């Protein structure tokens, strides 16, 4: 019964957007985007508290959000970690252990609506704004992003190519916003009329059309060194996304894994990242 209602609720949203679009496409688009940005998971769980509590650093005010940062001090280059959608800084614990052992200075933060940070919604432009705030303040030499965190890192580099960042690592990251929005449409089953209104809404609010938001396009001008790690069986973000980015990013290396899934907490993944950052 729970599974039945879980499937029914998204479709109800879609039907509501379709109905709303008959009266106001702008209202339908704004409402649909609002639902798209809602963060439903990712708050700190009881078993995560003790690990993160000891590393709490500063609370940064960014775009009216209170952003919780964390720090693991080291003597080598500083590395910024960006978690994925509906996650938080705890997801980096295995990589943090390896980077700390190698002497890296690590900074991380919970995105808006995630972990200990304030808010209930997040989207990539907002996440990128937060990331750049941290980059400006702490001057990391490298950024590592998982999933949407990787997409955010590449988008932010496109916007701010002259920052302190010299290396970027993405792990299981999507590339095309168009694909993400089509997945959203298929899940909620709303009409193309609503999707077209969403495209106009995004263009007006952020200055780019849905099809124009593409990390494979953003990296064409990226001169930094990159490492892309992606599992060919990833059922959340398709492997082809990293292939496409790699094809257009001159200074990137692509590592393909098989059977490691989307989260990619495994030692071999973290060893590859640590080695790349140590080069």
pTM over 0.75: yes
Report all structural domains of the chain as residue ranges with CATH numbers, in order of start. 1-37+177-207 (no CATH), 48-176+214-278 (3.40.50.1820)
Do 133 and 160 contact (CB within 8 A), yes or no? no
The two three-digit tokens of residue 248, written as one number? 């257009």
Q: Name the pLDDT band for 6 (thresholds 50, 70, 90).
A: very low
Per-residue pLDDT tens digits for 110-146: 999 999 999 999 999 999 999 999 999 999 999 999 9
Q: If DSSP codes are grouped into helix, strand and coil, which group holds residue 261?
A: coil
Phi, psi of 213 (to 5 degrees): -85, 100
Q: Which of 93, 107, 91, 106 has the alpha carbon at shortest distance from 43?
A: 91
């Amino acid at each position: 019964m729970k599974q039945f209602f879980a499937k029914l609720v998204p479709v109800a949203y879609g039907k509501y957007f379709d109905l709303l679009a008959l009266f106001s496409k702008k209202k339908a688009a704004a409402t649909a985007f609002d639902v798209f940005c809602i963060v439903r998971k990712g708050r700190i769980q009881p078993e995560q508290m003790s690990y993160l509590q000891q590393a709490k650093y500063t609370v940064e005010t960014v775009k009216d959000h209170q952003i919780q940062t964390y720090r693991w001090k080291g003597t080598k280059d500083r590395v910024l970690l960006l978690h994925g959608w509906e996650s938080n800084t705890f997801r980096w614990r295995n990589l943090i252990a390896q980077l700390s052992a190698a002497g890296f200075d690590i900074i991380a933060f919970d995105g808006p609506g995630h972990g200990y940070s304030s808010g209930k919604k997040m989207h990539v432009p907002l996440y990128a704004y937060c990331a750049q705030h941290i980059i400006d303040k702490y001057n990391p030499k490298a950024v590592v992003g998982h999933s949407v965190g990787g997409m955010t890192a590449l988008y932010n580099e496109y916007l701010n190519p002259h920052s302190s960042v010299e290396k970027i690592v993405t792990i299981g990251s999507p590339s095309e916003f168009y694909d993400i929005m089509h997945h959203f449409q298929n899940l909620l089953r709303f009409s193309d009329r609503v999707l077209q209104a969403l495209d106009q809404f995004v263009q007006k609010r952020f200055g780019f059309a849905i099809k124009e938001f593409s990390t494979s396009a953003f990296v064409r001008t990226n001169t930094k060194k990159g490492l892309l790690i992606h599992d060919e069986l990833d059922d959340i973000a398709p492997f082809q996304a990293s292939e496409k980015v790699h094809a257009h990013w001159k200074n990137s290396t692509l590592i393909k894994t098989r059977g490691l899934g989307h989260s990619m907490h495994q030692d071999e993944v973290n060893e590859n990242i640590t080695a790349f950052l140590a080069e």
